[in-house]
Structure 1
Amino acid sequence: MAELDIDIQSFDIPRLVTVYPDRAGVRWWTKAWFNNREEGETSVEIEREQAIRFMQDNIEKDAWLEEFFPRQMEVYHNAIEQTKEQLLKQINI
């Protein structure tokens, strides 16, 4: 596929993730949005130290999503693989 002039990024599924504290800054959560869905996924409570590592860019976004939103990431990987297979079938026509 390297010789083909195809922007694989255009087939990617948008993924947004954030971390946030409660008002007292004691409890922390992470929340994710896949494919530009307005509502997003249910928040997951995390440790403060995890939130700090994420905010300091010490954890890659996809690694974070794999840890806290594994079911959604499985769907993501399946969708990307299906798109890749469909693209390859079209090229081979």
Structure 2
Amino acid sequence: MIDPLADLDIDVRSFDIQRLVTVYPDRSGIRWWTKAWFNGSEDGEAAVEIERECAIQFLLDRIDKERMLEEYYPKQMEVYHNAIEQTKENLLKQLNIS
């Protein structure tokens, strides 16, 4: 499939939705949690308990942000993907390319 936006001088990052994910242990270092923030939300999403090994892999950059978000925040990522797709469709309509 050919990307109709490929030849346009558009900074697609300006259409992206900010996403942040982090991992952290409890005080004893036995239980680990992940927490995410979407679109600059101050409170973020509810923390989700994860396996220690997953947290370590994330901290070592062996699991990327997108994979963590897709795994532990699937509903939020579905909303994210839909919003990006809708933005792209709206942009194409504005440019009369669709």
TM-score by length of 1: 0.97
- Aligned to 2:10, what secondary structure does the other structure show? coil
Matching residue of 1:48 = 52
1:22-74 deviation per Cα after TM superposition (whole angstroms, max 9, x unaligned): 00101000000000000000000001100000000001111110000000000
Q: Are 1:92 and 2:78 matched, yes or no?
A: no
| Aligned match for 1:20, one of 7, 18, 24 | 24
TM-score by length of 2: 0.93
- Aligned to 1:19, what secondary structure does the other structure show? strand
Count of residue correspondences: 93
Amino acid at match of 2:86: Q
Q: Percent identity?
A: 72
1:20, distance to aligned residue in structure 2 (A): 0.3
In structure 1, stretches of 5+ residues that fail to align are: none
In structure 2, stretches of 5+ residues that fail to align are: none
Matching residue of 1:37 = 41
RMSD of equivalent CA atoms: 0.9
Matching residue of 1:77 = 81
Counterpart CA distance in 2 for 1:60 and 1:10 is 21
